[in-house]
Amino acid sequence: METEIVLVDSSVNKEETYSQAVEILRNGDIVAFPTETVYGLGADATNPQAVEKIFTAKGRPSDNPLIVHVDSKESALNWVQNVPAKAIQCMDAFWPGALTIILESKPGAFAENVTANLKTVGIRVPNHRVALDLLARVNVPIAAPSANTSGKPSPTLAEHVYHDMAGIIPLILDGGQTTIGLESTVLDMTSEPPVILRPGKITKEDLELVIGTVRLSSEIQGNAPKSPGMKYIHYAPDVPVYLIENDEALVGKAIQHVQKEGKKVAVLSTADFPVADYHFPLSAETLYDSLRKCDQTDADLILATVSTAPNRSDAMMNRLEKAADHKWFS
Ligand code: TXA
Ligand code: MG
C-alpha cells in the first residue's frame, strides 16, 4: 500500500482532501490526523473490521481500549449513558481539549474491539481545527489511538507517523507539529471521586477547580491499573533510556564514564551539554521528537535529566519514567 501525506491548511484543495479522508473512513479504512496532543490513527468506531485494522497497524494488544473522538459535547452524549453532572461540568470546562473522559457507553454503541469489551469508553473532543473539521464531516465517532507503532514514542509530526506507518495506512493528514506534544489526561468518571488514569496537560489542580476532589491512580495503593494500557511498555525508543538527576556535575561525570567504555551518549536536557555526543531538547512539546531523534544517531545510551523528586502528577515525568522503564543511571 502506498501512504500519502497531504498537507491540510487553509490554502490548497482543503475540501478535496477532507472528502478523500471521509471516503477512506466510510470505507472502513484508516486515516492518520493531527490533534492538539499527538497524531491519531483514526477509524470508524462503529465498524469492527475498521477498528481491527488499527490494532494490526500498531501491533497493539487487543485488551488495550481505544479513545473515541467526536466533534462536540452534544455528539458525545449520543454515545454514553448515566453521565454524572461532574462529567458535564468537565466537558463544558475543558472541551474541545486534551481531556479524555471515561464514561459508561450505551450498549452496542461502539464496535466491541474499541472498548476491549469494557462497559466504559474513553471519549474526547480534540482541540484541533483539522481534527474537528474531519470529525464534523465524517459524522461518526472516530476511534484513534496515538499513531505510533505500539510501545514507541507517540507522533508529534506527520513525519513521525510516516516513519511508523508507511506502507500500512493509505492517508496521513499533515497539520504540522502538535502543540501540546503529550497525550490527553485520562479521567475515569465512573468512580467517585474521579480518578486520573493518565496524567496530561490538564492537571489534577485544573480539574479540582471545576469538580472538587480528584485522585491520581498512582496514589491509590495496591490497585491494579484500571487503565489497561498502563501495564504495557510505552514511549520507548530503541536506544535504552536512563533517568539522571539534573545536576551539571553529575551528568558530566556520567557522560565521561560512558564514553570511557567506548560508548556514545545522547543527553536530553533543557540546558546544553557540550561534552555529550548528542544533545536534544527536553520539554513536553519536544520529548517524543527528541526520543525519536536519538534513535537516528549511533548513541548507545540516552540520559534524560530530571529533577530527583519525581512528581507523580507530572505528565512529562510520567512518560519519561515509562520510556526509561524506571531505570536511573548509577
Ligand atoms: O491525546 C490522546 O489521548 C491521543 C490522541 C490521538 O487523541 N490518543 C491516545 O490514545 O493517546 P491511546 O490509545 O494511545 O491511549 C489510550 C489510553 C490508554 O492508556 C488506554 O488504556 C486508556 O486510554 N483507555 C481507553 N479506554 C479506556 C477505558 N474504557 N477505561 C480505561 N482506560 C481506557
Ligand atoms: Mg499511545
| DSSP states of 62-96 | TTSPPEEE-SSHHHHHTTEES--HHHHHHHHHH-S
Query: Does residue 227 form part of some domain?
Result: no
Residue nearest to atom 33 of ligand 1 (CA): 227
Residue 71 lies in a domain: yes
Q: Which of 141, 174, 28, 158 lies closest to 75 in space, CA to CA?
A: 141
pLDDT above 60 for 221: no
Domain boundary pick from 182, 216, 250 = 216
Q: Whose CA is nearest to atom 7 of ligand 1?
A: 40
Q: Are residues 152 and 299 in the same domain?
A: no
Same domain, 137 and 278: no
Q: Which ligand is nearest to the CA of 123?
A: 1
319 or 218, which is more confident? 319
Question: Which ligand is closest in space to the CA of residue 104?
Answer: 1
Query: To which residue does cell 530530571 refer?
Result: 306
- Nearest CA to 34 out of 151, 156, 123 is that of 156
What is the length of the chain? 330
Let me know the angle formed at the C-alpha of 290 by 165 and 309, rounded to the nearest 5 degrees: 125
Q: What is the CATH number of the domain that holds 116?
A: 3.90.870.10
Q: Are residues 46 and 193 in the same domain?
A: yes
Per the domain annotation, does 285 fall within a domain?
A: yes
**107 vs 302: CA distance, rounded Å:** 46
Question: How many Å separate Cα 194 from the centre of its chain?
Answer: 21
Looking at 167, 183, 216, the residue that finishes a domain is 216
What distance in angstroms lies between residue 105's CA and the mean position of ligand 2's atoms?
21
User: Is 249 found in the same domain as 182?
Assistant: no
Which residue owns the Cα nearest ligand 1 atom 17? Answer: 229
Q: What is the pLDDT of residue 223?
A: 47
Question: Alpha helix (H) ranges present in 166-286?
Answer: 204-211, 248-260
Question: Relative to the CA of 186, which ligand 1 atom is closest?
Answer: 23
On whether residue 236 sits in a domain, the answer given is: no
Q: Are residues 201 and 246 in the same domain?
A: no
CATH code, domain carrying 259:
3.40.50.11030
Helix 158-165 vs helix 287-295: crossing angle, to nearest 10 = 40
The answer to whether residue 161 sits within a structural domain is: yes
Q: From the CA of 51, which ligand is nearest?
A: 1
For 78-156, strand residue ranges (E) read 80-81, 99-105, 120-124, 142-143
Domain total in the chain: 2
Give the domain extent around 247: 241-323
Query: Worst-scoring range by mean pLDDT, 68-82, 210-224, 253-267?
Result: 210-224
> Is residue 168 located within the same domain as residue 33?
yes
With bands split at pLDDT 50, 70 and 90, how would you rate the model's confidence at 177? Answer: very high
Question: pLDDT tens digit string along 298-314?
Answer: 999 999 999 877 677 69
What atom of ligand 1 comes closest to residue 37's alpha carbon? 1
Both 195 and 84 in a single domain? Answer: yes
CB-based burial label for 78 (10 Å; 0-12, 13-18, 19+): exposed
Ligand 1 closest atom vs CA 120: 29
Would 277 be classed as within a structural domain?
yes
Q: Residue 55: is its pLDDT beyond 90?
A: yes
pLDDT at 127 over 90: yes
Within-domain flag for 234: no
Q: Looking at the structure, do residues 58 and 10 belong to the same domain, yes or no?
A: yes
- Distances, alpha carbon 318 to alpha carbons 34, 56, 96, 109, 280, in Å: 22, 26, 23, 32, 19
Q: Which residues line ligand 1 (CB under 6 A)?
A: 35, 37-38, 40, 64-67, 100, 102, 115, 118, 120-122, 126, 144-146, 183-184, 186, 197-198, 226-230
The end-to-end CA distance of the chain, in Å, is 46
Q: Give tens-digit pLDDT for 1-39.
A: 899 898 887 656 788 999 999 999 999 999 999 999 999
| Concatenated DSSP letters of 158-196 | HHHHHHHHTTT-SEEEE--S-SS-SPPEEEE-SSSS-EE
| Structural domain contains residue 329 | no
Q: Of the given ranges (40-54, 89-103, 169-183, 265-279), which has the lowest mean pLDDT?
A: 265-279
CA of 121, closest atom in ligand 1: 29
- Amino acid identity, residue 295? D
Mean pLDDT taken over the chain: 93
- The whole-number pLDDT of residue 264 equals 97
Residues 245 and 206 grouped into a single domain: no
Same domain? 246 vs 192: no
Q: What share of the chain is helix, strand, coil (3-state, %, to 5)?
A: 30, 20, 50
pLDDT of residue 225: 54
Instruction: Indicate whether 55 and 180 sit together in one domain.
Output: yes
Mean per-residue pLDDT, 266-291 = 93
- Give me ligand 2 centre to Cα 181, in Å: 12
Share of the chain above pLDDT 90, in %: 84
Are 78 and 200 in the same domain? Answer: yes
Q: 199, 216, 233: which is the final residue of a domain?
A: 216
Residues 6+ apart with CB under 8 A from 203: 185, 313
The number of the ligand 1 atom at minimal distance from the alpha carbon of 200 is 1
Global confidence as pTM: 0.95
